[in-house]
Amino acid sequence: MTKLSVNINKIATLRNARGGDRPNVVQAAKDCERFGAQGITVHPRPDERHIRYQDVYDLKPIVTTEFNIEGNPTPDFLKLVKDVKPEQVTLVPDAPDAITSNAGWDTIKHKDFLTDIISEMKSLGIRTSIFVDPVESMIEGAAIVGTDRVELYTEDYARQYHANREAAIAPYMKAAVKAQEFGIGLNAGHDLDLDNLKYLKENLPGLLEVSIGHALICDALYYGLENTIQLYLRQLK
């Protein structure tokens, strides 16, 4: 079964909008795990507009499933990762002012940079994943830099899904096959929801994990967090 990692950034966004500590992100992570999530994802950004660096430190001792920290590998981010030593770090090339992640790595152009970071992360026993577009050459580049996994950036898939899901999934299927050829683990994330998740799972061989935040938290407003997590898990069975 493909694992579900819940991105709790939006919980922190709600907290930060009012100040104080409601909702509490640590308690939210505990609840997500209690309700069936198999991982917790956070994506701290330099301006700390949602998840704060201190949140990451606070979460480390209480996350009992897989802890996945996403972000642009700036010096501050890398220090955080080295301090916390999560099970997985996902390297994302997002600009500091980006509202959300909007592109994958050019693994060929940034070969030396990624190779050095991945080597350092592996020396600390941290599994590495690189956020990439569904392009076969980028998968090959990811293999060359030595990453353990890639996370396919699924915004294009989600945007095209209702118009033509066969066309939408096609480049992702090719990317998944290429990842298998190179022995790279496969994750996926961005704009996945209860409409498009099952079809993605059914058509991507070897899909190990999906990271879902925005849509899942939005659904939880209507269905409740526990029920929503169970609904997402059913799509992955």
Nearest to 188 by CA among 41, 27, 34, 9: 41
Candidates 33, 66, 70, 151; catalytic one: 70
Specify the residue for token string 């981010």.
77
Candidates 43, 66, 151, 209; catalytic one: 43
- Residue 223: CA count within 13 A, CB half-sphere: 15
Task: Report the Cα 32 to chain-centroid distance in Å.
Answer: 16
Residues tagged in the binding site annotation for 1-deoxy-D-xylulose 5-phosphate:
45, 50, 100
- Cα 110–Cα 115–Cα 117 angle in degrees, nearest 5: 100
- How far is the CA of 44 from the CAs of 41, 77, 125, in angstroms? 10, 8, 21
In what helix (H) or strand (E) does residue 148 lie, and over which residues does it extend? none
Active site (annotated) includes residue 110: no
- Dihedrals phi, psi of 142, to nearest 5 degrees: -65, -40
Residues tagged in the binding site annotation for 3-amino-2-oxopropyl phosphate:
7, 18, 191, 213-214
- Tell me how far apart the alpha carbons of residues 51 and 78 are, in angstroms, rounded to a whole number: 16
Residues tagged in the binding site annotation:
7, 18, 45, 50, 100, 191, 213-214
Active site (annotated) includes residue 140: no
Specify the residue for token string 């209860």.
194
Nearest to 67 by CA among 146, 147, 6: 6
* Burial class of 93 by CB neighbour count within 10 A (0 to 12, 13 to 18, 19+): buried
What is the token pair recorded at 149?
């996994």
Candidates 33, 66, 151, 190; catalytic one: 190
Active site (annotated) includes residue 43: yes
| Catalytic positions | 43, 70, 190
